[in-house]
Amino acid sequence: MNTLLQIGHNNYCPPVAQGDISPVNVLQHFVWDGGPITWCILIPLSVITIALTVHYLFTIRRKTLAPPDLAKTLIAGARQGQANSIRQIIRDDNTLLAQAAYAGLSQIGAGRETARAAIDEAVEEQATKLFRKIEYLNMIGNISPMIGLLGTVVGMIKAFNRIFAAGGGMPDAGKLAGDIAVALVTTFWGILIAIPALAAFALFRNRIDAFAAESVKLCDGLLSWVYKQNTAQTAERNTQSSSTKRTPPVSPA
């Protein structure tokens, strides 16, 4: 009985007061423990990703690439065959739709196929410029996990060096945990940055493709309407000219 009491006394752990348990310090665990790779590279990359995403949300949208009001104006003018008036309106407009329409209407006198080729070329040029802009998000999304992996390798090298330096003994647990924290936190930040960056890149790429396809389709319709009106006007003029020639002159009384 005395032996059992002695064992129980030796294994007794005093209760921990509630105030002794500190809450998880998010800043400490997810920022400071990440080391210089997290502070100087990954966190700035996350800020850049957010800034680029917000910027593209305002610049890559229908209102700035294919405005509905502009589309209505182009359709109304094309149905009336006012190609020259349309060109005057969109000459200084830098939107994707305006540039495509201006390129097509400028070549309308060279033939329909030439005008269509001009539209395709203008849309491709504008879309390429936009793709180059959003390519930064794709680059960040691809290199962030690699940087996180670099931090993982650095942290594991430090941890194994510390174990080796202990000479077979027990290394300092606090310092060892710090080295492992560097490995895990940098991986966490690398993945955390890559996922939204690649998702945003895919979103904006699909937007650009959609607006480019809509612009080509609309401009092709504009060409059809303009050619149709021009053909009708030409036929009407020819009819009036023929009627004038057939009318005999009125002899004086």
pLDDT (tens, 9 = 90+) of the chain, 253 residues, equals 444 444 444 444 444 444 443 445 766 666 777 778 888 899 999 999 999 999 999 999 999 999 999 999 898 888 887 888 888 888 889 999 999 999 998 888 888 899 999 999 999 999 999 999 999 999 999 999 999 999 888 888 877 777 777 776 677 666 667 677 777 888 889 999 999 999 999 999 999 999 999 999 999 988 888 888 766 666 566 566 555 555 555 555 4
Write the single-letter amino acid at 140: I
CA atoms within 13 Å, Cβ hemisphere of 81: 8
- The pLDDT value given to residue 251: 52
- The pLDDT value given to residue 5: 40
- The pLDDT value given to residue 192: 93
If one counts every other C-beta atom within 10 angstroms of the C-beta of residue 85, the result is 12
- The pLDDT value given to residue 247: 53
Residue with tokens 């502070």: 39
User: Is there a contact between 42 and 34 (Cβ–Cβ < 8 Å)?
Assistant: yes
In the chain, what are the domain boundaries? 34-52+64-225
Whole-number Å distance between alpha carbons of 163 and 172: 9
Whole-number Å distance between alpha carbons of 11 and 17: 19
- The pLDDT value given to residue 31: 74
- The pLDDT value given to residue 242: 58
CA atoms within 13 Å, Cβ hemisphere of 215: 33
Backbone angles phi, psi at 72, to 5 degrees: -65, -40
